[in-house]
Structure 1
Amino acid sequence: MRLLLVRHGQTPTNVDYLLDTAVPGPGLTELGEAQAVALPEALTGEDIEALYVSTLLRTQLTAAPLAATRGLEVIVRDGIREISAGDLEMLPGDTEQGELYMRTAFAWAAGDTDLRMPGGESGAEFLGRYDAVIAEAAQSGLGTVAMVSHGAAIRTWTAARADNVDIAFAAAHRLDNTGVVVLEGSPSDGFKALSWAGASVAPAGEGGPAGEPLEDAG
């Protein structure tokens, strides 16, 4: 299966660098709407056969132009929503407390899945729900599936599940709004990332210095 993980368009709380993860969440900014309109052309070379979105409004608004252009029915799944910030909800991402959000998420990708976000979910719970949607798509037998999801969720799941993406790479490479991570594989055989926001993915271990940028969380 070819899997396209697409971050949603810009929201007002992205602009303000806030950890905004609650359902249904905000809509898109004017720029976010323009990003959504541009998405069908950006993905013109992809033969998308199914389109998933999360339960957060911003993913559904981002996917709407693509769904209309391709004649696809949007499939809503809670499993690919953003990592719940719990007690960190609506804190600025560039504060010490806010930085705990991505440190916790990347600890999950490193295997510490019993660790829990303060007041929120554990790594096992997050990866379990995200894996379940990926497995559903894989079981459909379709060739190419797109999922409009969220920055921290995409980076964390990819670092945990793609054989050639390590935590250093995922931490150092932020995913801009409507950025796309392209992967290939299956839950049984594993996944390999083919590209990250249009750039080739460095092999595991060559991701460069680890950083923990938070402004794209959500």
Structure 2
Amino acid sequence: MRLLLVRHGETPSNVASLLDTAAPGPGLTALGARQAAALPEALADEDIEALYASTLVRTQLTAAPLAAARGLRVHIRDGIRELAAGDLEREPGDTERGRLYMRTVLAWADGERELRMPGPGGESGTEALARYDAVVAEAAGSGARTVAMVSHGAAIRLWTAVRARNLDADFAAAHPLRNTGVVVLEGSPDDGWRALSWAGALVTPAREGGPAGRPVDAG
């Protein structure tokens, strides 16, 4: 299966650099709406047969133009929502407490999966991966050859760092995903996943000409 993981369009919380992971979450800014409107053309070469979005409003608004252009139903699934911030919710991302969020996510990516985000509602890496895996498995079992999932930056970075055999925690740390950035993978839950491109840059396959996950010029 070909899997396209798409980050949602820009939100007011992105502009303010605030951690904002709770449901239903904010809508899109004017720029975010334009980013969403540009997705059908940006993905024109992809033969998308199934489209998913998370339970947060911003992903559904981002998916809507693509769904309309392709005549697709949007499958809403909680499993691909953003990683819950717990007590760090609404913290500015550039404060010490705000930086703890991504430090925890990257620790999960590096194998420390039983760490938890602080406070009520904070989840562990094991829990976050399990819910994301369940939605990917559902999509793989649908028979669709190409699936797009509109999800969230930290969740996409974690899942790909752990599940794509040619990416790792160092790659996730060095490569934030911009709004409506797309990660393209191929594989299956049984056979594993390989990242093909990250936000337009090709990804060197593990053991094939470069360090695992090293981006190369797409030409």
TM tier relative to shorter chain: over 0.9
Aligned-partner SS, 1:93: coil
Aligned to 2:193: 191
Query: Is the CA contact (8 Å cut-off) linking 1:10 and 1:31 kept in structure 2?
Result: yes
Give the drift of 1:98.
0.8
In the other structure, the counterpart of 1:149 is 151
Query: After alignment, is 72-81 or 95-104 more displaced?
Result: 95-104
What SS class does the counterpart of residue 72 from structure 1 fall into?
coil
**Residue 184 (structure 2) aligns with:** 182
Measured against aligned partners, the alpha-carbon deviations of 1:20-75 in whole angstroms (never above 9, x if no partner) come to 00000000000000000000000000000000000000000000000000000000
Partners of 2:48 and 2:148 within 8 A in 1: yes
Structure 1 unpaired stretches of 5+: 209-218
Structure 2 match to 1:70: 70
Aligned-pair CA distance for 1:92: 0.5
Assess if the C-alpha contact under 8 Å between 2:17 and 2:92 holds in 1: yes
CA distance in structure 1 between the aligned counterparts of 2:95 and 2:187, rounded to whole angstroms: 37
TM-aligned CA deviation for residue 202 of structure 1: 4.0
How far apart are the structure 1 equivalents of 2:184 and 2:20?
25
Count of aligned pairs between the two proteins: 208
Q: What SS does structure 2 have at the residue aligned with 1:118?
A: coil
- 2:84 is matched with 84
Question: Following TM superposition, by how much is the alpha carbon of 1:203 offset from its aligned partner in structure 2, in angstroms?
Answer: 4.8
CA shift at 1:172, angstroms? 0.6
Give the aligned residue type for 1:38. A
2-structure distance, mates of 1:40, 1:196: 18
Match of 1:17 in 2: 17
Cα deviation for residue 113 of structure 1 reads 1.1
Structure 1 residue 84, shift from structure 2 partner: 0.3
Match of 2:140 in 1: 138
Residue 58 of structure 1: aligned partner: 58
- Deviation at residue 107 of structure 1 after TM alignment: 1.1
Structure 2: stretches of 5+ with no match in the other structure: 215-219
Q: Shift of residue 201 of structure 1?
A: 1.6
> Distance in 2 between the 1:18 and 1:203 partners?
34
In 2, distance between residues paired with 1:88 and 1:174? Answer: 19
Q: Structure 1 CA distance, aligned partners of 2:100 and 2:213?
A: 21
SS in 2 for 1:65: helix
- Aligned equivalent of 2:164, options 159, 162, 165: 162
Is the 2:6–2:148 contact (alpha carbons within 8 Å) kept by the matching residues of 1?
A: yes
* 1:121 corresponds to: 123
Kept after mapping to 2: 8 A contact 1:169/1:202: no
In structure 2, distance between residues paired with 1:43 and 1:123: 31
Partner Cα distance (1:173, 1:201) in 2: 12
Contact 1:172–1:207 (CA<8 Å) still a contact in 2? no
Paired residue type of 2:53: V
Q: What is the TM-score normalised by the length of structure 2?
A: 0.93
**Which amino acid in the other structure matches residue 153 of structure 1?**
A
Contact map agreement 2:167 2:212 (CA 8 A) in 1: no
Task: Provide the rounded CA distance (Å) in 1 between the counterparts of 2:164 and 2:109.
Answer: 10
CA shift, 1:206, in A, is: 5.3
The TM-score normalised by the length of structure 1 is 0.93
Letter in 2 for 1:19: L
What is the CA–CA distance in structure 2 between the aligned matches of 1:200 and 1:98, rounded to whole Å? 31
